[in-house]
């Protein structure tokens, strides 16, 4: 049985390193993550050189370098990290930070896979795509490993909504979560709660979700079969479906609910 860690990656690595000699010069005076992102996108910041400097920073500072490494440090020291999945945003900062973390962890003998989570380019896509995609990816990785590996979810990196969504998914799958508290010197564990979904609350959505899982349906046909009220509830209240060119399609959250209901 291997020890598998699913790790959300934020921007703490580049934020912590920004004031350090060697990194500061590469960033051309940029300190805030949004400034650094723009500098990377425009090419003002040399991405490859920044990545090298961040790896050097990790090697020197180790668990003090970033939130992600600080959180898994105890597991690393005890040899309890065999496989790590780094879930990073589709941003330049996400790419740079996750690349440096991957290089560092590989040097520690960890098998590391980076997985990009799309939908983080702006506020709208973060809400409608980023969080659902993160939920789906976390769900899929847990399903892939939980039957034959010990799975942990490290929820330190990223914003509070990201921490919340991966915590929810981990609890639904019955695996433990841990994160780094700002004032504590070690990680804080959240146990897997022995809870089950109340499927009766979802029965009204099962038929339309099954209908849309493999193909879209015109709005008129959907209204005739399931009613306007259900359509509005699924679209506006729960974001289970979305409209595209007069058709209803299942959303990322709807697809996740399908996996929850039917075990896929």
Give the pLDDT confidence of 204-261 residue by residue, as tens digits.
888 999 999 989 999 999 999 999 989 988 887 677 898 999 999 998 878 877 887 7
Cα–Cα distance for residue pair 65/37, rounded to 1 Å: 19
Q: Tens digit of pLDDT for each residue in 100-115?
A: 999 999 999 999 999 9
Cα–Cα distance for residue pair 170/166, rounded to 1 Å: 6
Instruction: Determine the pLDDT at residue 183.
Output: 47
Q: Give yes or no for residue 159 having a pLDDT over 50.
A: yes
CATH 3.40.50.10770 correct for 3-11+61-190: yes
- Which H or E run includes 115? strand 111-117
Structure tokens at 2: 């291997």
Structure tokens at 58: 């990790």
CB 230 within 8 A of CB 204: yes
Nearest alpha-carbon partner for 121 in 7, 27, 37, 6? 37
Phi, psi of 41 (to 5 degrees): -65, -40
Domain boundaries, the chain: 3-11+61-190, 199-262
């Amino acid at each position: 049985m291997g020890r598998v860690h699913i790790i959300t990656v934020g921007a703490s690595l580049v934020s912590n390193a920004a004031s350090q000699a060697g990194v500061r010069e590469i960033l051309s005076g940029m300190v805030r993550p949004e400034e650094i992102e723009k500098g990377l996108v425009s090419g003002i910041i040399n991405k490859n050189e920044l990545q090298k400097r961040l790896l050097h920073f990790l090697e020197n500072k180790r668990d003090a370098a970033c939130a992600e490494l600080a959180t898994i440090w105890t597991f690393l020291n005890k040899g309890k990290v065999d496989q790590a999945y780094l879930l990073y945003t589709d941003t330049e900062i996400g790419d740079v930070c996750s690349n440096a973390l991957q290089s560092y962890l590989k040097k520690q003998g960890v098998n590391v896979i980076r997985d990009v989570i799309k939908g983080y380019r702006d506020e709208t896509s973060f809400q409608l795509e980023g969080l659902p995609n993160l939920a789906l990816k976390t769900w899929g990785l847990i399903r892939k490993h939980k039957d034959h590996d010990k799975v942990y979810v490290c929820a330190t990196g990223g914003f509070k909504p990201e921490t919340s969504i991966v915590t929810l998914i981990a609890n639904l799958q019955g695996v433990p979560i841990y994160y780094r508290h700002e004032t504590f010197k070690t990680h804080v564990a959240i146990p897997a709660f022995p809870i089950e979904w109340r499927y009766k609350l979802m029965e009204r959505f099962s038929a339309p979700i099954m209908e849309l899982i493999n193909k879209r349906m015109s709005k008129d046909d959907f209204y005739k079969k399931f009613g306007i009220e259900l359509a509005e509830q699924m679209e506006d209240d729960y974001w289970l479906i979305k409209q595209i060119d007069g058709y209803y399609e299942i959303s990322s959250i709807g697809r996740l609910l399908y996996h929850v209901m039917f075990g896929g």
